[in-house]
Amino acid sequence: MAKRLLTLLAGCILVGACQGTPEVQTGEDAEVIGNNLHRVDNSRAAKSYVNPDVDFSQYNQVLLPPLVLNDVTIIQPTRSNGRPGNTRWELTEDDKAMLQEAFRKAMTQKIGENGGYAVVTSPGRGVIAVIAKLLTLAPSAAKDDMSSRATGRSRVFTEGAGTATIEIAFVDAQSGEVLAVAVDGKSGQSTWGINNSVTNRADIQRMFNAWAAQIRSSLDNLRARQ
């Protein structure tokens, strides 16, 4: 039972649903990385690994480091709606601060609500760190600023803000041991609408809220059933 629940962490925690029944690879042919992290089959995440020997019931506090943004791959939009020669999408320091705040807000709310986990600021016994790293960002259109979109531009309409890929590592905050890792991608709204800085920020917040809700739900299930 414990092994099956640990499988659900890596297979479903970031995607909300699974293809078939997730299973942790075992035996001599198992794909194992790092410190006993076993590949999870039938996961909708691109790749998922989990340590099958971990007892997650020992963790009742969560450490939330800032969203890692030091190596984000920007996939440039095919629809520029911008000025010739000045349409390259880049993350500014203001952009990074906004993304980190959106992630912190989503995680703090979901992790702590309804008698959940205490969010702490330092490592300790019974503390699990949720370390998130933004891997890719694929905006739907040129950035909504004066240097990227033409002066007097008409409104820009897209199918959501774009897509993002994130990596989540669950780490024993005291020992530094990585307990599970998963990668997942999300898209903005599926309906067409105005694309501007306000709508894009709202879309990003929705993505982070969805990830946070799935992480909280999975941690609850693991602690309750192990």
More confident site: 107 or 79: 107
Rounded Cα distance, 170 and 24, in Å: 17
pLDDT at 150 (0 to 100): 63
**Phi and psi of 143, rounded to 5°?**
-60, 145
Over 60: is that where the pLDDT of 18 sits?
no
Mean pLDDT value of segment 138-165: 74
pLDDT at 132 (0 to 100): 94
What pTM was computed for the model? 0.80
Q: Which residues make Cβ contacts (< 8 Å) with residue 7, sequence separation at least 6?
A: 22, 23, 24, 40, 50
- Residue-wise DSSP of 123-159: --TTEEEEEEEEEEEEESSS-SSTTTB-TTPPPPEEE
pLDDT single digits (tens) 25-69: 777 787 788 778 888 777 666 677 888 888 888 998 999 999 999
Over 60: is that where the pLDDT of 196 sits?
yes
Q: How is residue 148 written in tokens? A: 């990227």
pLDDT at 30 (0 to 100): 78
The terminus-to-terminus CA distance of the chain in angstroms comes to 7
More confident site: 5 or 50: 50
pLDDT at 15 (0 to 100): 42
Percentage, residues of the chain above pLDDT 90: 32
